[in-house]
Amino acid sequence: MVNPLLFWIIAALTVIPSLSLLFARKAVHVAMAIVLVMVGLAAAYVALGAPFLGVVQIVVYTGAVMMLFLFVLMLVGVDQREDLKETIKGQRWIGLLAAGGLGAFLVSVVARVALPVQEETVGEPDVIAEVLFQRYVLVIEVLGFLLITAAVGALVLTHAPRLKPRRTQLEVQRDRVRVGANPVNKPMPGVYARHNALDVPALDPEGQPIEDSVSRVLKIRHQTQDGAEFRAQLEDPARKDTEEGR
């Protein structure tokens, strides 16, 4: 038997974050929410007499699976924003209806069930191991092949061997000179003492901002700031004062 309070906590801990699957716009938020769900589930396992599984859940899911998700999210760009506006007519409502219907059906089915609860067998690792390597020994062997497949698959789909010879610094520099590009470093951004402003362009001697000095990535993200603004601040002590006064 489980402590009802614990149940409700676990329920809240799993259901509420999982709703982000439906409503959160950013995938990263969803992933983090799911991590929470996984932890909640781990707690549930422990509460249900499966401490080993609880640990595995944490290790595998929060530790590996969800991290993998996050990793890929980072790879594809955290900023893959999704417009929640549905583009297919009726999809959302029918979808919600169907999923809700399925859920309601399952809940009603389960709720009607009255199974006698047997004495608890705690899933300590040794107990599990025994079953694992007796009745389920073939499964675990086959799982090995599954893992090989997964690994090979991931490699085939994502790993590219070096196709071109590795370019040395020397070659890079030579190429750069050959095309007549700037042979030296680009100018640093306008880092000011008061402001860690990688996003603010440096100013050239004439006071004009040097666009090249800001990272291209930031520009694409529109996360740059106008150098002129800061120059204005420099020139207008009044504003500076107000800023300082704050």
Partner 1 sequence: MSFVTPVIAWAPLAPIIIVLGAAAIGILVEAFIRTPATRRAAQLALALASLVGAALVAILQWATLDGAGTVVLEHMMVVDRQALAWQSVLLLFGVLGTLLFAARTRAGEEAFTPLGAVAPGSTEETLARRKGMQLTEVFPLALFAVGGMMLFTSVTDLIFLFVALEVFSLPLYILVALARRRRLLSHEGALKYFLLGAFSSALFLFGAALLYGATGSTSFDEVGAGIASATGLDTLILAGAVLVVVGLLFKLGAVPFHSWTPDAYQGAPTPVTAFMGAATKAAATAALIRLVYGALYGLDWELSWLFWTVAIASMLLGTVVALVQTELKRMLAYSSIAHAGFILVAFAGFPDSTLSALPFYLLTYGLATMGAFAVITQVRERGEDGTVLGEATRLGQWAGLGRRSPWLAASMALFLLSFAGIPLTAGFVGKFVAFSAAMSEGAWPLVLVAVIASAAAAFFYVRLIVLMFFTDVPDGQEDAVAVDYSPLARVVVVAAAVAVVLLGIVPGPVLSAFENAGVLLLGAAG
Partner 2 sequence: MDPINFVILAAILFAIGSAAVLLRRNAIIAFMGVELMLNAANLSLVSFSRIHGEIDGQVMAFFVMVVAAAEVVVGLAIIIAVFRARQTISLDEPSELKG
Partner 3 sequence: MLDLTWLLIAVPLASSIVLMLAGKRANPWGHWVGVAASGSTFIVGLGAFIQMLGLDSEERAHAVHLFSWIPGGELNLDAGLLVDPLSMTFVLLVSFVGTLIHVYSVAYMEHDPNRRIFFAYLNLFVAAMLLLVLADSYLLLFVGWEGVGLASYLLIGFWNYKPEYATAAKKAFVVNRIGDIGLIIAMGLMFAYLGAVDFETVFAEAPAASTATLTAIGLTLLLAACGKSAQFPLQSWLGDAMAGPTPVSALIHAATMVTAGVYLIVRSAPIYAGAPAAQTAVAAVGAFTLVLGALIGMAKDDIKKALAASTMSQIGYMMLAAGLGPVGYAFAIFHLVTHGFFKAGMFLGAGSVMHGMKDQVDMRRYGALRTAMVTTWITFGLGWLAILGIPPFSGFWSKDKIIESAFVGEGAQPWILGGAALIGAGLTAFYMSRLFFMTFHGKARWTDDQHPHESPAMMTVPMIILAVGSAFLGLILAVGDRFAVWLEPVTGHVEHHEPVLPVPVLIAATLILVALGVWVAWRKYGAADVPETAPAASLSTIAARNDMFQDSVNRAVFERPGTHLTRTLVYADAAIVDAAVDKQAEAWGKTGETVRRTQNGQVRSYALTMLVGLVIVIIIVVQGGL
Residue 243 to residue 223: CA distance in whole angstroms: 21
Q: Cβ closer to partner 3: 86 or 226?
A: 86
Torsion 175-178-181-186 (CA) sign: positive
Q: Please, which residues have CB within 8 angstroms of residue 24's CB and are 6 or more apart in sequence? A: 30, 33
Touching partner 2, residues 5-64 (CB under 8 A): 7, 10-11, 14-15, 18-19, 21-22, 27, 30-31, 34, 37-38, 41, 44-45, 48-50, 52-53, 56-57, 60-61, 64
Residue 63 burial (10 A CB sphere; 0-12, 13-18, 19+): middle
CA–CA distance, 77 with 105 (Å, rounded to integer):
38
Q: Which stretch binds partner 3 (CB under 8 A): 99-107, 132-140, 149-157, 202-210?
A: 99-107
Restricting to residues 142-171, which ones interact with partner 1 according to CB under 8 A?
142-143, 145-146, 148-150, 152-153, 155-161, 163-164
From the list partner 3, partner 2, partner 1, none, pick the one residue 137 interacts with, judged by a Cβ distance below 5 to 8 Å according to partner type.
partner 1
Give least dist CB 111 to partner 3, A.
15
Interaction between residue 191 and partner 2 (CB under 8 A) = no
Pick the closest to residue 34 from 87, 73, 6 (CA basis). 73
For residue 95, CA distances in Å to 88, 90, 98, 108, 200 come to 11, 8, 5, 19, 47
Interface with partner 1 (CB under 8 A): 105-106, 109-110, 112-115, 126-127, 130, 133-139, 142-143, 145-146, 148-150, 152-153, 155-161, 163-164
